[in-house]
Chain A
Amino acid sequence: MPWVTRGLSDGIVTTRYPRRPDGYGDGFRGAVRTVDPSGGDAEEAAAVAAVCPTGAIHVDRAGVRLDRGRCILCGRCVAERPDRFAFDPSPEVAGLTRASLVVGADGPGDASELAEARAALARRVRALRRSVHIRHVDAGSDGAAEWEVNALVNPLYDVHRLGIFFTASPRHADLLLVTGVGTAAMVEPLQRTFEAMPEPRVVLAAGTDATSGGLVHPTYATGGGVGDVLPVDVWVPGSPPSPFSLLHGILLGLGLLDDRRRAAGGTSSGGPR
């Protein structure tokens, strides 16, 4: 079979996300959520918090809080404390403030702060809504995150259909997508890339490593994520962040998520289930 017919042989394989939910939910670990966020006595609090290898779980009198920005999805809390934690199959985990990644008791951070961040970002990115060019920089990832970023252009996700493109030059880029823990040696290249970009520009921290340093931090060579180096607008947890999580984060950062769903007559909540 020649390549041209081969290319047509499977029909359309592309997801319709975000206009329609996607079926990719089976067994997928999008994030961890708290089942029972009530607090406990000091002993119980220490026992629950000690389960997590990256210190993502914090327990006090107010209750259990889980910082998805620190969670590497190892699943230990779900395995050992199913009474308190469970996997959430939705990959829509991105947040516009660091505090909004904390789930559990007290809800997802300060609502007014989040609304303010959303409004400020929306004002800035208004010009970028129809065509967005992304420059990716690896600041010390484990290599898996680059695969997931690259996956966005494969036929199953095909972000070109949404007007999203990758560019080699920071001069053409609107969105800086950073993976990795933020190594000491990458601080300068990161800043130079950011400064080379025209305004308005959006910074997306992709993955738990880029958000908080994950399990790799702290060492003599790492910063705790890229938040200290760049003004991050969108945080996408995940170890590595899945393509759907990345896509959700990009659309969230550009304020396109709700529009796309309204256009399709869908709702603004609910993930690609």
Chain B
Amino acid sequence: MSDAQAHAVGTGDTDPGRSAVPTTSSGPGPTSASAQVVVAATDLAATVADQVEAGGRFAGLVATARPDGATTLQALLVRAKDVAVISAALPPGAEHYPSLTPTVPAADWYEREVHDLFGIVADGHPGLDPLVLPLPHGTVRPRPGGPGGPGRVLHPDTAPLPAEVAGEGLFTIPYGPVRSGVFETIEYLVETFGEDIPSLRTRVHYKHRGIDCRFGALGLDDAVLLAERVEGTASVAHAAAFSCAIEQLAGVTVPRPAQLLRVAHAELERIVNHLDSMVRHCEGAGQAVANARLSTHKERLLQLRSRLCGHRFGRGVVVPGGVSGPPSWPVDTTLSDLERLERAVRSDVGALMVTPSFLDRLRKTGPLPPQVVAEHGAVGPVGRGSGLAADVRADRPANPYRTLGFEVAVARDGDALARQHVRVTEVRQSFHLVRQALDELGEELPALRARPGTSQHAAAGHGPGHEWWTPAVPGDGIAVGAVEAPQGELLYLVEVAGGRLARVKPRCASFHNLALFPAAFQGDIFTDFVFIEASFGLSPAGAAG
């Protein structure tokens, strides 16, 4: 048995408290217990296929380089009560394993990513094209998890993609990397006759920042700051998912007030992200007034967040073990500001959802059939818009979602309008959750009702022994942190060895769902592009890594 295998077994079996289901839930909200299974690399595809057959949802494939040159492949499977990690070791020098994609198509992009970062080939994969890092053949690969990394800048091969389909009158539009307007960088290669789009391919490598390797160079305290910057529009979710994994490894429970404050920030983040998607819809549909109104509400919510914690995106709030401190704005004032904003959002969104010229652009646009979504295991509003009722907050509810009460928003039609309906419902629920969380905080800790800077407010206190955080020192092992980010389920695979972070792998909903993007173009025309993209609501930063 190689070291890598021994390590993986060790993390599962040595600690009696962590045998089959090694960890208990804690943290911001939903966390996941993770069970670990070790198989031979040749059996990985079959084992994963069996798990999917048994009702598991394939949620990612992660590779980790070991100091001795070996590589561990870890498949993530979301089951009813936990996330299973199925590990297989490849000895040093081994560069092949049987591909998962023929039996589990959702593994497609993950195997391409592993190939880009490690040079490891999935035998039998239908098309192992570069995705996140197109390197010329024979270049050294970054191999995250291993010692150091390449130590120099790797220059990607940026040659344009060859055309995929041929025919008279067919032309290719590379939409990106520099796009028309203020967008994140991504390249869509659209092949079209002018209206219909028979082929669409996505390349995300322009934004690839080597986040995986950067995590390996950081200490525990700094890693949470990097997590906030993996997908900057979902900073709170990322910090919470990372912290959740660390808390499992440390065996600590987050104090209730910190859980509540995390929920308040996470749900505010969801509201602004959903509003952003709606603003982009309005922009595309030429709804100038709705666009102006909703972008004003979004801005006011960002300002409210900055009053609450000093940062418009909630950075610096979530730390492993809790939150960094009490809210920096009186809870009562926040609640009344929030009530005003909620009324305004509800009124404008309500008007938008009965405006025919808006609805007509979304209805039957970008349809995703339920079977496609179910087979891929799409997450977030993309999955829920096609009837897949998966939401970490309800599926694996940890405190405080368990006590606050929450119902999954689902729509059946699978089009952009269905995804919009999901977001409308979720915005309403999120306002409710923020209110409940802040109400309870104000009741438990009346000092938070006072203005910051006063002595009553100071009594709310900082630091260990108070309500805001417990020290979280992780033991060695592997844990999977999970939260429902605005884009969908966010998983953090965290491995600690010898007290340092051996591997941190964020599995962003943006990466998982973006693979499904071309599937939404069945029968749609070029002018629908903006709606399909906005209704997916993904961040290229999260997808590129």
Residues of chain A at the chain B interface (Cβ within 8 Å): 1, 3-4, 6-7, 10, 13, 24, 26-29, 53, 72-75, 79, 87, 136-151, 154-157, 166, 168-170, 180-181, 183-186, 188-189, 193, 214-216, 219-223, 239-240, 242-243
Contact = CB atoms under 8 A, between A and B. Distances in A.
Given A29-B310, A142-B231, A144-B233, A154 B299 contact: yes
Given A26-B307, A141-B207, 12 more contacts: A26-B329, A72-B229, A142-B232, A154-B299, A168-B180, A185-B158, A185-B177, A185-B205, A215-B229, A216-B229, A219-B149, A242-B312
A143 B233 contact: yes
A194 B538 CA distance: 28
Contact of A155 (B178, B233, B296): B296
A220 B306 contact: no
A72 B225 CA distance: 9
B232 A240 contact: yes
A180 B207 contact: yes
Nearest to B273: A147
B60 interface: no
A169 B179 CA distance: 9
B276 A221 contact: no
B221 A53 contact: yes
A117 to B, nearest CB: 27
Contacts of A221: 133, 153-154, 208-210
Contacts of A223: 153
B316 interface: yes
Contact of B185 (A140, A156, A188, A219): A140
B222 A154 contact: no
B411 to A, nearest CB: 25
A193 B178 contact: yes
A79 B323 CA distance: 14
Given A7-B289, A215-B229, A220 B142 contact: yes
A183 B235 contact: no
B261 to A, nearest CB: 15
B348 A6 contact: yes
Interface in B162-207: 177-178, 180-185, 205-207
Contacts of B230: 142
Give the dominant DSSP class at A's interface.
loop
A75 B306 CA distance: 14
A189 B222 contact: no
B281 interface: no
A10 B451 CA distance: 28
A4 to B, nearest CB: 7
B184 A141 contact: yes
Interface residues on B, range: 35 or more
Contacts of B209: 140, 181, 183, 216, 219, 221-222
Nearest to A213: B209
Contacts of A139: 185
A155 B295 contact: yes
Contact of A138 (B184, B296, B298, B312): B184
Nearest to B545: A221
Contacts, number: 188
Contact of A185 (B208, B222, B233): B208
17 contacts: A6-B293, A7-B289, A142-B232, A143-B231, A147-B233, A149-B182, A150-B295, A154-B295, A156-B296, A180-B185, A189-B177, A189-B178, A215-B214, A215-B222, A220-B152, A221-B133, A222-B153
Contacts of B39: none
A170 B177 CA distance: 13
B178 A240 contact: no
Contacts of B47: none
A13 B149 CA distance: 50
Q: In this complex, which of B155, B177, B182, B232 has the most chain A Cβ atoms within 10 angstroms of its Cβ?
A: B182
Contact of A27 (B183, B214, B307, B540): B307
A55 to B, nearest CB: 11
Contacts of A222: 153, 209-210
Given A142-B231, A147-B233, A155-B292, A27 B306 contact: yes
A195 to B, nearest CB: 12
B453 to A, nearest CB: 10
B210 A219 contact: yes
A154 to B, nearest CB: 4
B311 interface: yes
B511 to A, nearest CB: 13
A24 B299 CA distance: 12
Nearest to A52: B222
A75 B351 CA distance: 41
Contacts of A168: 180-181
Nearest to B298: A154
B206 to A, nearest CB: 5
What 3 pairs between A and B have smallest CB-CB spacing?
Answer: A144-B232, A142-B232, A219-B210
Contacts of A144: 232-233, 235, 313
B207 A183 contact: yes
Nearest to A89: B310
A143 B541 CA distance: 6
B51 interface: no
Interface in B297-312: 298-300, 302-303, 306-308, 310-312
B289 A146 contact: no
A255 to B, nearest CB: 24
A184 B214 contact: no
B213 interface: yes
B351 A6 contact: yes
Given A215-B222, A215-B225, A147 B276 contact: yes
A219 B478 CA distance: 24
Q: In this complex, which of A7, A24, A143, A189 has the most chain B Cβ atoms within 10 angstroms of its Cβ?
A: A143
A79 B211 CA distance: 27
B464 interface: no
B149 A146 contact: no
A182 B151 CA distance: 17
A13 B156 CA distance: 46
A215 B206 contact: no
A143 B182 CA distance: 11
A272 to B, nearest CB: 12
Contacts of B329: 26-27
A151 B206 CA distance: 24
Contacts of B158: 185, 188
B355 interface: yes
A151 B316 contact: no
Nearest to A137: B178
A216 B231 CA distance: 12
A10 B226 CA distance: 39
B296 to A, nearest CB: 5
Contact of A74 (B184, B214, B302, B316): B316
A1 B222 contact: no
B441 to A, nearest CB: 17
Given A74-B225, A185-B156, A242-B312, A146 B184 contact: yes
